[in-house]
């Protein structure tokens, strides 16, 4: 099994980003665009995991608790590592400080099961496309700059998801295996 942990994004955010992706794809089809139904906020990439050890993961995630739900505002666009040599095109996320706490707790829980900790600092984002090779066509750069400050919506959530990714010739197919509540719902 190939697994990761993520936050699902609301339908309104997904639709707003789908509109952006479709307009930018019309400008440049040479990027590998993420299908809108696959957009999510990755908290931890686990990778290959034996099915017989799935209960250990589930138990570790079920024990994660925070004092409050996380809040995210999807806003802005950018690149990893940078605009001069882009590999990933992303939508930005402004999040409540406890999002980093949640990612850290998930990282700690998986480390106890033998999965190495993340070496890079957690940087919340939504991957919209990948560049291969890393170059930014001028028409696409201009279209992205026109949308650079755009907001795409927000999310308040008290749950995260364990997701299986099956790689297929048509692209990755995701299946949510289990949802884990980590905080009480605010009244």
Query: Known catalytic residues?
Result: 40, 125
The tokens for 114 are 């033998």
Q: Is 11 exposed, middle or buried (0-12, 13-18, 19+ CB in 10 A)?
A: exposed
Residue appearing with tokens 């008290």: 158
Strands (E), the chain: 2-8, 32-33, 40-48, 70-80, 88-95, 125-130, 151-157, 159-168, 171-181
């Amino acid at each position: 099994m190939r697994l990761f942990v993520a936050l699902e994004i609301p339908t309104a955010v997904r639709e707003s980003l789908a509109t952006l992706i479709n307009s930018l794809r019309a400008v440049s089809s040479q990027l590998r665009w993420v299908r809108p139904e696959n957009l999510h906020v990755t908290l931890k990439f686990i990778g290959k995991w034996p099915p017989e050890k799935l209960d250990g993961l589930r138990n570790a995630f079920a024990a994660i608790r925070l004092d409050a739900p996380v809040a995210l505002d999807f806003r802005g666009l950018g690149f990893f590592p940078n605009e001069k040599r882009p590999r990933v095109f992303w939508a930005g996320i402004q999040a409540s400080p406890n999002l980093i706490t949640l990612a850290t707790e998930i990282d700690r829980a998986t480390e106890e099961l033998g999965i190495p900790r993340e070496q890079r600092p957690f940087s919340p984002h939504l991957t919209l496309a990948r560049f291969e090779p890393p170059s930014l066509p001028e028409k696409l750069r201009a279209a992205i700059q026109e949308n650079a400050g755009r907001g795409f919506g927000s999310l308040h959530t008290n749950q995260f998801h364990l997701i299986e990714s099956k790689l297929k010739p048509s692209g990755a197919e995701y299946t949510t295996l289990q949802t884990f509540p980590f905080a009480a719902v605010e009244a």
